[in-house]
Copies of this chain bind each other. A is one copy, B any other.
Amino acid sequence: MSNVVRIAVDAMGGDGSPKKVIDGIIHNHTLNKDNFFQIFGDEELIKPLIEKKLNPNFFKIVHTKNSVKSTDSPLEAAKKGKNTSMWLSIESVKKKESDIVISAGNTGALLVIAKLNLKMIESIDKPALSALWPNKKGMSVVLDLGANIECNSKNLTDFSIMGASLYKSLYPNENPKVALLNIGSEELKGNETIKETFQILSDKKLEFDFKGYIEGNELMNGEVNVIVSDGFTGNVALKTAEGTANFITQELKKTLGGNFIGKISSLLNFSNLSKFKKRLDPRLYNGAIFIGLDSPVVKSHGGTDYFGFSNSLNVCNRIVKGSLIEKIKNNI
């Protein structure tokens, strides 16, 4: 790796692509000049969006007409072969022409095509899908979010190490505190797999601070930085948090806009409410990181906009500069 971070971008995935992807690249460049973008997709559509807006020293378009659709099953997507924008962008990290790959496309397809192309990090059995999650003090890393429905204690131990490495590569000055998501803080509760993992992590010499168990209601209090779970539970937790946040903010909107006094008062309080909205803006923690393979693969939310995509590009930059893969290899 030189000082430039080379990001392979699948320009054709997600709602409103390629425009939102290209606008995200252009916006990201205004903040950060050390990314180089290898853009995979339909040149006819991409070129008019980017030329004259971004200095050609900072990007290259690799043309392909083919792309994975959001409605493709992972198998259908893989069968489309090697010249979809998704496959080519993943192949770019495989060939070491890029340092990291990002797509806002079909999640299942991305996981499958990444697994087909990239090697596992030695001694890791399963890669995991991780994400950033806001809490009272900042952000935490949560994994697995759905890549692995059934996990054994070896998997959960690996996820702990990978999650701590990810946190450390994003926040180099902190010593990650790691906990297992469980249904009781007492050692007695939880299923056998979790108890075994607890024992392994308690006995092992670790590069992070193992904090034992955490319950769902503590996920957002900021006491731990990395929260580890099987993919089924993690996915339900993440989506329940999303659903709850939506429910409450919609109820609040109804309340504050419900009558004349409400409207006047909200107007008066506009800048405060904007701050609140900004603090919880899902675009700030857009993107999931697929870790365990020998190159990092970033999944941007399909529904995010250029600003969310730009934030994910920023995460890509920090992951590469933070030497995520080397950290995992050293700690596993």
Chain B residues lying within 8 Å of A175, measured Cβ to Cβ, are: none
Shortest beta-carbon distance from A55 to chain B in Å: 39
- Is A118's beta carbon under 8 Å from chain B? no
Interface residue stretch chosen among A37-45, A97-105, A260-268, A308-316: A260-268
Chain B residues lying within 8 Å of A61, measured Cβ to Cβ, are: none
CA distance A256 to B266 in the complex (A): 10
Chain B residues lying within 8 Å of A188, measured Cβ to Cβ, are: 73
Interface magnitude class on chain A: 35 or more
Would you call A232 and B233 a contact (CB within 8 A)?
yes
Would you call B248 and A245 a contact (CB within 8 A)?
yes
Interface residue stretch chosen among A20-28, A214-222, A290-298: A214-222
Chain B residues lying within 8 Å of A146, measured Cβ to Cβ, are: 183
Q: Which one of B181, B232, B272, B279 lies within 8 Å of A259 (CB-CB)?
A: B272
Would you call A149 and B247 a contact (CB within 8 A)?
no
Chain B residues lying within 8 Å of A220, measured Cβ to Cβ, are: 243-244, 246-247
Residues of chain A in range 96-139 having any CB-CB distance to chain B below 8 Å: 134-136
Shortest beta-carbon distance from A215 to chain B in Å: 5
How many monomers of this chain does the complex have?
Answer: 2
Would you call A235 and B269 a contact (CB within 8 A)?
no
Interface of A is mostly: helix
- Is A242's beta carbon under 8 Å from chain B? yes
Chain B residues lying within 8 Å of A239, measured Cβ to Cβ, are: 183, 215-218
- Is A250's beta carbon under 8 Å from chain B? yes
Best-buried of A149, A239, A258 by chain B (most CB within 10 Å):
A239
The residue in chain B whose Cβ has the minimal distance to the Cβ of A238 is B216
- Is A249's beta carbon under 8 Å from chain B? yes
The residue in chain B whose Cβ has the minimal distance to the Cβ of A242 is B217
The residue in chain B whose Cβ has the minimal distance to the Cβ of A262 is B272
Shortest beta-carbon distance from A32 to chain B in Å: 28
Would you call B216 and A240 a contact (CB within 8 A)?
yes
The residue in chain B whose Cβ has the minimal distance to the Cβ of A145 is B183
- Is A241's beta carbon under 8 Å from chain B? yes
Chain B residues lying within 8 Å of A251, measured Cβ to Cβ, are: 276, 279-280
For the complex with contacts A219-B244, A233-B233, A265-B266, 4 further pairs of A-B residues with Cβ separation under 8 Å are A136-B247, A217-B246, A236-B237, A241-B243
The 7 closest A-B pairs by CB, nearest first: A216-B239, A216-B240, A217-B243, A265-B269, A255-B276, A244-B244, A217-B239
**Interface set of A (CB-CB < 8 Å, partner B):** 73, 134-136, 146, 149-150, 181, 183, 188, 190-191, 215-221, 229, 231-233, 235-252, 255-256, 258-259, 261-262, 264-266, 268-269, 271-273, 275-276, 279-280
- 22 residue pairs of the A-B complex, CB under 8 angstroms, read A136-B250, A149-B183, A149-B190, A216-B239, A218-B239, A219-B243, A219-B244, A220-B244, A220-B246, A220-B247, A236-B236, A236-B240, A241-B243, A244-B244, A248-B248, A251-B279, A255-B273, A256-B272, A258-B275, A259-B272, A262-B269, A268-B268
